Amino acid sequence: MAAAASKTSSEVKQLAQKIGKRVNGKNWHAPKTAFRPTSGQTSYAKRKEQDKANQIIKAREQEMKDEKEAERNRRIQAIKDRRKAKEEKERYDKMAEKMHKKLVERRKRREKRNKLLKS
């Protein structure tokens, strides 16, 4: 047990001697390494693989956005339809106050026929 503890402490000392102490005393920071601009370069195949993965991710994101937009449009359309039906009902009620009930019903049917012909 004691031998293992002394072994690890000697390894730490050797590592400290190899790296050296920080001059500014900020020992909690990661030690700096040499700047190697070519170390970040990746192979063509690896880049292409990454591009494929990015394309898949982008396609999925676009699909999710489209679904969200479709849901939003569906809700908006439902609100518009409800408002339109309410307006039409109010208009017929107003008409019913002034006219006879059968005449209003006849007008409703005629307007529905015209709507079907127009669409």
pLDDT in tens, 24-76: 888 899 887 888 888 888 899 999 999 999 999 999 999 999 999 999 999 99
Condensed to tens digits (0 to 9), the pLDDT of residues 84-112 reads: 999 998 988 888 777 787 888 888 888 88
Sequence letter at residue 12: V
Tokens, residue 119: 């669409």
Amino acid, single-letter form, for residue 4: A
Q: What is the pTM of this model?
A: 0.48
Amino acid at 14: Q
